[in-house]
Amino acid sequence: MFALDVAAHTGPWRLRHPAEKALLSLGLLACAVALPPWPGAVLSGGAAAALLLGPARVSPAVVLRAARVPLLFVATSAVPLLVTMPAPARLAVDPAGPALAAQTAGRSVAALTCLLLFSATTPLSDVLPRLHRLGIPPAVTEVAALTYRMLFLLVDSVRAVREAQAARLGFRTWRTAYASLAGQAGAVFVRAFSRARRLEEGLALRGYTGSLTVQVEPRRMSPPFVAATVGLLVAIVAATTVAGSRW
């Protein structure tokens, strides 16, 4: 399993209702996107990070490992905001670029932290079965669940093929490494196609009619948690409004 999935299945918020965590995470995300970057996005991202590392007890190493690729994308996307092109084939530093890049990067990092708060505390297996009550078609949730399951199988296949190639000195030189990567892609594709076909045959033999019925564990909403979430969101909006009126 991925580190985020392990954290979601073993964390102290595992037994909380997914709607509670969705209200908290998506509410903070809405504040980070809708409110001004200062101090709205900063407060939203800071609250999400504090909850993620505090009450949710997610390891900082897990958070950094999950956020490193999105953070790299944010950093590379902010660089073009620093320059401008006033004439053809001429680049110049934009005087308003640093402020715009900082605002964009800050809002993006805050939104990413809010999403990590939900994904690191809520297993996907708790979310998908409950989406039917919101009117989501069963076909959509079942395709998402099967794709999620196949993702782990593909990762296992890539790891097994890579270990076999490394045992045969497949990465000894650049030439053998390129050949091994090409063979790895072909082997993983064949394995994925074979597993998908076997999965389709298994569902057909079990009388699949277009819907996979699963048992959903009943869970109750926690009024104190919901009240605290609403209070936190109201406090962030109020603090941002007061700060904006002073500026």
Q: Are residues 60 and 162 in the same domain?
A: no
Is residue 35 situated within a structural domain?
yes
Is residue 127 situated within a structural domain?
no
Q: 220-234 b/e with 16+ CB inside 10 Å = b?
A: eeeeebeeebeebbe
Verdict on whether the full-model pTM lies above 0.85? no
Instruction: Express each pLDDT in 20-77 by its tens digit.
Output: 888 999 999 998 888 888 888 889 988 999 998 888 888 888 888 888 888 898 888 8
How far is CA 18 from each of CA 84, 127, 182, 198, rounded to the nearest angstrom?
Answer: 45, 6, 42, 32
β-strand 83-87 against 90-93: which pairing, if any?
A: antiparallel
Q: Are residues 141 and 116 in the same domain?
A: no
Instruction: Express each pLDDT in 126-158 by its tens digit.
Output: 787 777 777 777 777 777 777 777 777 777 778
In the chain the first and final C-alpha atoms are separated, in Å, by: 47
Q: Are residues 186 and 73 in the same domain?
A: no
d(CA 247, CA 240): 11
The whole-number average pLDDT for the span 85-90 is 69
Q: Are residues 163 and 225 in the same domain?
A: no
Strand, coil or helix: what is 83?
strand
How many distinct helices (H) and strands (E) make up the chain? 9, 2
Residue with token string 């033999």: 205
Is residue 128 situated within a structural domain?
no
Residue in 18, 73, 29 with CA at minimum distance from that of residue 221: 18
Q: Are residues 98 and 161 in the same domain?
A: no
How far is CA 65 from each of CA 4, 9, 68, 70, 71, rounded to the nearest angstrom?
Answer: 9, 17, 6, 10, 10
Taking CA 113 as the corner, what is the angle to CA 108 and CA 115, rounded to the nearest 5 degrees? 95
Is residue 150 situated within a structural domain?
yes
Is residue 210 situated within a structural domain?
no
Is residue 183 situated within a structural domain?
yes
Q: Are residues 92 and 190 in the same domain?
A: no
Q: Are residues 225 and 167 in the same domain?
A: no
Number of domains into which the chain is organized: 2
Token duo for residue 122:
């809520």
Q: Are residues 107 and 46 in the same domain?
A: yes
Taking CA 92 as the corner, what is the angle to CA 87 and CA 97, rounded to the nearest 5 degrees? 120
The whole-number average pLDDT for the span 206-225 is 75
Is residue 211 situated within a structural domain?
no
What share of the chain in percent tops pLDDT 90?
A: 6
Largest Cα span, the chain: 68
Q: Are residues 159 and 196 in the same domain?
A: yes
Is residue 214 situated within a structural domain?
no
Give the pLDDT confidence score for residue 82 in this predicted structure. Answer: 81
Q: Are residues 144 and 113 in the same domain?
A: no
Q: Are residues 117 and 234 in the same domain?
A: yes
Q: Are residues 174 and 224 in the same domain?
A: no
How many other β-carbons are positioned within 10 Å of the β-carbon of residue 175? 8
Give the pLDDT confidence score for residue 182 in this predicted structure. Answer: 80
**Domain span at residue 154?**
136-205
pLDDT-based confidence at residue 215 (cuts at 50, 70, 90) = low
pLDDT > 80? residue 3: no
